[in-house]
Amino acid sequence: MAILVTGGAGFIGSNFVLEWFAKEREPVVVLDKLTYAGNAENLSAVFSDARLTFVRGDIGDRALVGSLLKDHSVRAVLNFAAESHVDRSILGPGEFIQTNMVGTFELLEAVRAYWGDLDATARGEFRFLHVSTDEVYGSLGPEDPAFTERHQYQPNSPYSASKAASDHLVRAYHHTYGIPVLTTNCSNNYGPYHFPEKLIPLMILNALAGKPLPIYGDGTNVRDWLYVTDHCAAIRAVLAGGRPGETYNVGGRNEMTNLEVVRTLCSILDELKPKAAGASYWEQVQFVKDRPGHDRRYAIDASFIERELGWVPAETFETGIRKTVQWYLSHSEWVQGVLSGSYREWVATQYGA
């Protein structure tokens, strides 16, 4: 038997696969389309492991998914595959609708056909774990309580709307067809292998390159930050002990403004990679026009998963962000591999030359 990890060459998916091989013995089938943010090099450390099967393909290819499920006797599907950058969804929402909504539908249909042919015991043990985001809940005010699993969905971007739709599909397939599903909604992840268009890796790499550090609006938008390996540990806990049909919010209990995040990054870089003449990387900060519909605050109440499954984050923001900066400083070859011409064009389009 094996698990099928979709989007397993992306940021969170690849970290999950690497953590899985470090802690488990079960084989893994990775299915990834290898779009701009999917990087097979993320999995280079385990390519020689006989337990890994890597397949380049689309979750929307129902026939391919069906054959993988049968050929590898898959006992669980973990769906990380998604278009996930809000800025990209604003400029071009079509890919988000296709991957996050239509793709999830096709994946669920392949799973439904496979699951229906299993014997009663295997059907009961099978799991479909859908990895989602806290952005489906919308935006919080400064004093509002954090998102719980029962918070009303109020997505405000094409990205979060497409993820909300996929969450609803997963829920419907449980209640209509009985498929044992699990959903996780996580806060902002950061850590190794993060594609450098998101805030933290973008700031690190721009700082080192002597480029401006673009901050939207006034920089006071608040996010809850979760170190990626803590997220992976939570997903393993949900897969092992989560109740079918249930949703688990996963957060780091690290609410910070974008300004605080960038200031912390600059301080660590000033220490680990000091500039000449005592200058600070903070001097490279530039405020840019805010993006449309920019949510002011996200915050996760993770007490349910802590209570039900005993999961708590191992990293504070201070320990996790230092590990992240050190990783980027020591993996320059990986960084250069992803800094393609198309990536540079995207950054110029989004933030201005």
Round to whole Å and give the CA distance between 160 and 235.
20
Q: Note if 134 is an active site residue.
A: yes
| Catalytic annotation, pick one of 159, 193, 227, 281 | 159
C-beta of residue 185 within 8 angstroms of C-beta of residue 249: yes
Per-residue tokens: 154 = 């109020």
Greatest CA separation for the chain: 70
Per-residue tokens: 257 = 């403004």
List the one residue out of 332, 190, 336, 227 whose CA is nearest residue 273.
Answer: 332
C-beta of residue 70 within 8 angstroms of C-beta of residue 22: no
The H helix count followed by the E strand count for the chain is: 14, 12
List the one residue out of 13, 7, 48, 50 whose CA is nearest residue 31.
Answer: 7
- CA 164 vs CA 57, 131, 318: distances in Å: 24, 11, 31
| Catalytic annotation, pick one of 87, 106, 135, 315 | 135
| Catalytic annotation, pick one of 134, 197, 230, 295 | 134
Q: Note if 315 is an active site residue.
A: no
Q: Note if 135 is an active site residue.
A: yes
CA 111 to chain centre: 22
Per-residue tokens: 307 = 């209570």
Q: In what order do the strands lie in the sheet with 127-133?
A: 52-56, 28-32, 2-6, 74-79, 127-133, 181-186, 247-250
Helix, coil or strand: residue 72: coil
**Residue 161 phi, psi dihedral angles, 5° rounding:** -65, -40
Report the amino acid identity of residue 152: Q
List the one residue out of 240, 246, 117, 234 whose CA is nearest residue 180.
Answer: 246
DSSP code per residue over 270-284: HHHSPPGGG--GGGG
Any idea which residues carry the catalytic annotation? 134-135, 159
